[in-house]
Amino acid sequence: MPTTTVADALGTIGSELQDLVAAVRAADPAPFERALTLLTDADRVFVHGAGRSGLALRMTAMRLMHLGLDVHVVGEVTTPAIREGDVLLVASGSGTTGGIVRAAETAAEVGARVLAVSTRADSSLSTAADTTLVVPAATKTDRSGTASAQYAGSLFEQAVALLGDALFHALWQRSGHSADDLWPRHANLE
């Protein structure tokens, strides 16, 4: 069995992320602009994802809160009911994760907007969403090594984290607020 070093692994991951970023930059910018508008216009933002995708979205929730948005993580005991005027930000590589699709459908039924991140524009999640950000990555069930040499949906989950930071950064830059303006919202009960 070949020996892979941590440096080798980082090289693989970095290369795949560079390719992913290049593909997203070359893609139609309209869905990304719609995503920024949805987030800007939202009364409240709810984030929801399963497993590592959900963890990545929690990072996004924190940054959006730093911007001053009213943000909730689905499943937390203090999360209120979603309603018209709100946005549900969800991620599912396959676009078929049952709980995520059902949450998107529920949000749409009550008049909330749905912003999805997925590898597929033709999934049931994308059908329920107002806007889907499609990323070229492997889903957790793709073990072919074709879309990514990494295990399961690692590249997709990394993309969710990077897209969350990119959405935050674009919103922050457009806001005109300084880092000092955002700092008072940073956690102080650490």
Which residues are annotated as catalytic?
A: 157
Q: Computed from CA positions of residues 179, 183, 187, 188, in that sequence, does the dihedral angle turn out positive or negative?
A: positive
For 154, the token pair is: 């690692």
Cβ-contact 24, 135 below 8 angstroms: yes
| Selection from 184, 167, 175, 157 nearest residue 64 by Cα | 167
Quick one: which H or E segment has residue 7? helix 6-26
How many helices (H) and strands (E) would you count in the chain? 7, 5
For 77, the token pair is: 């005991």
Tell me the CA end-to-end span of the chain in Å, nearest whole number: 44
- Those residues whose C-beta lies under 8 Å from the C-beta of residue 181, and which sit 6 or more positions away, are none
| Selection from 169, 98, 104 nearest residue 132 by Cα | 104
